[in-house]
A = this chain, B = another copy of it.
Amino acid sequence: MTAQGSLPSWTDGPTKAAIVEFVERVTAEGGDGFVPPAERIAVFDNDGTLWCEKPMPVELGFILKRFAEQAEADPSLRERQPWKAARGRDYHWLGEVITKHYHGDDSGVQVLMGGIVQAFAGMSVGEYESAARAFLDDARHPTLGRRLQDATYLPMVELLRFLEANGFTAYIASGGDRDFMRPVTHDIYGIPAERIIGSSTGLRYQADEIGGTLVYEAAMDVFDDGPMKPVRIWSRIGRRPILAGGNSNGDIPMLQYTGGSGRPGLRLLVLHDDPDREFAYTSGAEKSLGIAAAQGWTVVSMKDDWSRVFTDAP
């Protein structure tokens, strides 16, 4: 398959050309941009980069379902956030939490996180995995007419396969919860559990008669966003990526870290400018778009660069 032929949902133009030229450059043995396969590390944000994050991140639906169950069981939670918003389906409160976070105000995130760590405390990793898998098998997107996990961007999946065919190894570096993504990433992206980097909740080893169980604690471990992304990427892989994809201000350090002194680097920033097929928004991405323009990062226009958007529809 030719390079062009392996990205069928990307329209011909400067964005696709930038990707193809970059891959040709780093794979050309003897060329001055050649990068050995072991160093061809690509990292991708997930929410808004590989799958749809509007009207709210996929994971939030899972958490809200859990909050609502908890509020049903315990009336004392019903007047407290975040359980109140979950039970009342108050998406405005939740949307504000995310918007405020992107603008540097994490007060709402802290309230939400306080609920999240309590929501799953005491659950084993196996129980959580089963619950996440069951949710993602069923849950539907509220407006796009498909399952949440099928609101995945086909061109990005094609890109993952194209990179893989060219000796790259791709990781997901997401602010989303690592263990929520893991049950489905192999099926939808071809990326196995050991290549998922993300936010994590504290775990403890609990000895028992079946060799021990790993159980979530009521405490955040790492919130994998902003400057933590390069830290966690390096901690996990031990290498500096040469290609990264993101879509928001939280991805700036990861995108800046990509490449490095004297090495090739391709930085992709997905622009949500397609209200007909997906959503149009730049909230939370303003600063990243400014840097992209100033430093020549490759902006991916959903409207112009993608002939198809989702994995399961024309």
Q: Which residues of A contact B (CB under 8 A)?
A: 38, 125, 178-179, 182, 192-194, 196, 200, 203-205, 207, 210-212, 214, 227-228, 230-231, 234-239, 253, 256-261, 265
Contacts and interface: CB of A to CB of B under 8 A. Distances in A.
Nearest to A234: B214
**6 closest A-B pairs by CB:** A193-B238, A205-B227, A210-B261, A212-B257, A194-B237, A205-B230
Contact of A236 (B125, B227, B231, B236): B236
A125 B207 CA distance: 35
Given A194-B239, A205-B257, 18 more contacts: A38-B192, A182-B238, A192-B238, A193-B238, A194-B238, A203-B231, A203-B234, A204-B227, A204-B231, A205-B228, A205-B230, A205-B231, A207-B253, A207-B256, A210-B260, A211-B261, A212-B230, A236-B236
Nearest to A205: B227
Nearest to A200: B235
| Copies per assembly | 2
A114 to B, nearest CB: 22
B205 A253 contact: yes
B238 A203 contact: no
A313 to B, nearest CB: 30
Nearest to A192: B38
A238 B196 contact: yes
Contacts of A210: 260-261
Contacts of A261: 210-211
Contacts of A231: 203-205, 214
A238 B184 CA distance: 12
- Most B CB contacts (10 A, CB to CB) among A211, A236, A261 go to A211
Contacts of A38: 192
Contacts of A259: 211
Chain B CB within 10 Å, residue with most, of A205, A231, A234, A237? A205
Contacts of A196: 238
Given A204-B227, A204-B231, A205-B231, A194 B260 contact: no
A261 B208 CA distance: 11
A296 B219 CA distance: 36
Contact of A211 (B193, B237, B239, B258): B258
A228 B125 CA distance: 15
A202 to B, nearest CB: 9
Contacts of A257: 205, 211-212
5 contacts: A193-B238, A193-B239, A211-B256, A211-B259, A212-B257
